[in-house]
């Protein structure tokens, strides 16, 4: 029986890869504008990194990770997200000792064992950025502004920005207690996972996906009523900075995010378009994560943006990703001698900067023209026995359908001029 790709994974086929290359290119261009440098980290890490970083009461660590023992019995995990790895690398290579801030970006595949549906896969891709080294809310606003700029450049109109403050360990102590007081009378109604979260991490109760628990959470106390002075004034700063950038937002005190490392700022860009999978980009501040991973006390802020969801949204918004350029020249050859001549011309054209192909299937002329059309070739050069005898080839302009005879030694020159006119 034929083998298919694993459930929840997708091939990115040659006919669609240009869409990925387009968004990747635009993302990288924007990173350059904002002064972010790329970092690449391994596909798998020690499991402990995510237990400590993402947090072992989160859905990700409890039920979504692809974890396995390697041949030496070490527990490894395929990356479920990017930030923990970037932080690990920042600490391991002592990047914190260089002048700050450190501004990094990445694109990576993430692996989570989830129920596959539109916009939710087991292998998906994220673009992410991180700013390390400043507690200033200017950085948070800049990170949000980046996401906002990127989404609007990608033509996405039906998203709204929701922000919250998830506080710091200081103000959270009182909030945890208030949450427990609220949920205690409903303890028996909670799902099994939430029962375990009740003691260990009651804020996670707000992030539960079960509809019953979500309904309960609606009446829960708001974190914003429990913020300490520092967190409260940071949140005010953030709002002021977003206003300064001219970015509209709404405050949603229910946002806790699916990772434990966030402090103060938490945000999501939410769409109404892709059903239940409505968050295209989520992020926030993590002032203690770097210490948690074994580094010094350095604050950070960043986001992760789902590329599959981005592409879905772009389609929904009618964004037309430009199709890749076709081939500059196709060389149609008839007969063995013409093949040899064709190969020489092919090589010369490529060396001169053209994209070029020659027929390698010994097809008849009609078949060769069909292939040239499929490759969107702008010119087809025809070489047969007549052409060899004359020392000149036929150039067919595939756009205007004009045909001219050109001496072999003038081919490159003529093609260059003609191609400039077509591009
Ligand atoms: P959700 O609430 O939809 O599960 P999340 O809070 O788990 O999202 P994050 O961990 O913040 O998501 O990841 C950042 C982004 O990565 C999300 O906003 C989303 O666009 C994308 N993403 C997360 N999980 C998946 C998935 N299983 N398949 C496709 N994209 C995903
Ligand atoms: Mg999730």
What whole-number distance in Å separates Cα of residue 200 and Cα of residue 56?
10
- Please give the pLDDT value at position 277: 66
- Specify which residues 117 forms β-bridges with: 120
Q: What is the pLDDT of residue 57?
A: 82
Look up residue 423 and give its two tokens.
């591009």
Burial classification of residue 248, based on how many CB atoms lie within 10 Å of its CB (0-12 exposed, 13-18 middle, 19 or more buried): exposed
- Provide, rounded to the nearest whole percent, the portion of the chain with pLDDT above 90: 85
Ligand nearest to the CA of 312: 1
Closest residue by Cα to atom 25, ligand 1, is 120
Gap between the Cα atoms of 195 and 188, Å rounded: 8
Q: What is the mean pLDDT of the chain?
A: 95
| Chain segment 195-244, per-residue pLDDT in tens | 988 988 899 888 888 888 888 898 999 999 999 999 999 999 999 999 99
Q: What is the DSSP letter of 39?
A: -
Nearest atom of ligand 1 to the alpha carbon of 277 = 3
Q: What is the pLDDT of residues 144-194, one digit of tens each?
A: 999 999 999 999 998 999 999 999 999 988 999 999 999 999 999 999 888
Tell me if 378 sits within 8 A of 326, measured CB to CB. yes
For ligand 1, whether the C-beta of 312 sits within 6 Å is no
Probe target for ligand 1 pocket from 277, 278, 286, 301, with the most ligand atoms within 8 Å of CB? 277
What pTM does this model have?
A: 0.93
Say how far apart CA 177 and CA 63 lie, in whole Å.
26
Query: Pairing state of beta strands 379-383 and 329-333?
Result: parallel
Helices (H), 130-267: 137-153, 169-183, 192-200, 211-218, 229-245
Residue with tokens 């700029």: 149
Mean pLDDT of 277-292: 93
Q: Residues 364-399: pLDDT tens digits?
A: 999 999 999 999 999 999 999 999 999 999 999 999
3-state secondary structure of 70: coil
Ligand nearest to the CA of 207: 1
Phi, psi of 18 (to 5 degrees): -60, -30
* DSSP letter string, 253-315: TT---SSTT-EEEEEEEEESSSTT--EEEEEEE-SSHHHHTTS-S--EEEEEEEHHHHHHHHH
**Is the predicted pLDDT of residue 423 greater than 60, yes or no?**
yes
Length of the chain: 423
User: How far is Cα 364 from Cα 25, in angstroms, rounded to an integer?
Assistant: 39
pLDDT in tens, 195-208: 988 988 899 888 88
- Residue 276: pLDDT over 70: no
pLDDT in tens, 5-45: 999 999 999 999 999 999 999 999 999 999 999 999 999 99
The phi, psi pair for 249, rounded to 5°, reads -150, 165
């Amino acid at each position: 029986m034929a083998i298919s790709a694993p459930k929840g994974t997708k091939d990115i086929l040659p006919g669609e890869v240009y869409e990925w290359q387009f968004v990747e290119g635009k993302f990288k261009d924007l990173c350059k504008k904002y002064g972010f440098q790329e970092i690449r980290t391994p596909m798998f890490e020690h499991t402990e990194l995510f237990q400590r970083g993402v947090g072992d009461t989160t859905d990700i660590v409890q039920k979504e990770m692809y974890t396995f023992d390697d041949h030496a019995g070490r527990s490894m995990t395929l990356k479920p997200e990017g930030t923990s790895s970037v932080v690990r690398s920042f600490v391991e290579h002592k990047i914190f000792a260089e002048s700050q801030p450190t501004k990094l970006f990445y694109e990576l595949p993430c692996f989570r064992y989830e129920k596959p549906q539109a916009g939710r896969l087991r292998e998906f891709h994220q673009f992410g950025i991180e700013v390390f080294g400043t507690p200033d809310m200017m950085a948070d606003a800049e990170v949000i502004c980046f996401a906002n700029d990127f989404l609007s450049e990608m033509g996405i109109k039906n998203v709204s920005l929701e922000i919250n403050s998830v506080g710091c360990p200081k103000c959270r102590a009182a909030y945890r207690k208030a949450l427990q007081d609220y949920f205690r009378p409903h303890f028996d109604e909670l799902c099994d996972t939430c029962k375990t979260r009740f003691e260990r991490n009651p804020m996670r109760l707000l992030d539960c996906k079960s509809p019953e628990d979500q309904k309960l959470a609606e009446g829960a106390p708001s974190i914003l009523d429990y913020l300490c002075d520092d967190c409260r004034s940071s949140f005010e700063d953030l709002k002021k900075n977003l206003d300064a950038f001219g970015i509209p937002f709404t405050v949603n005190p229910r946002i806790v995010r699916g990772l434990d490392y966030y402090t103060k700022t938490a945000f999501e860009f939410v769409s109404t378009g892709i059903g239940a999978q409505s968050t295209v980009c989520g992020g926030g501040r993590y002032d203690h994560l770097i210490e948690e991973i074994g580094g010094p006390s350095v604050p950070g802020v960043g986001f992760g943006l789902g590329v599959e969801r981005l592409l879905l949204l772009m389609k929904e918004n009618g964004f037309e990703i430009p199709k890749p350029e076709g081939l500059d020249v196709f060389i149609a050859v008839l007969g063995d001698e013409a093949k040899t001549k064709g190969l020489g011309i092919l090589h010369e054209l490529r060396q001169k900067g053209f994209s070029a192909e020659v027929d390698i299937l010994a097809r008849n002329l009609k078949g060769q023209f069909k292939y040239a059309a499929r490759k969107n070739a702008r010119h087809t050069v025809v070489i047969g026995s007549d052409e060899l005898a004359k020392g000149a080839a036929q150039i067919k302009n595939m756009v205007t359908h004009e045909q001219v005879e050109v001496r072999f030694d003038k081919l490159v020159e003529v093609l260059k001029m003609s191609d400039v006119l077509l591009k």
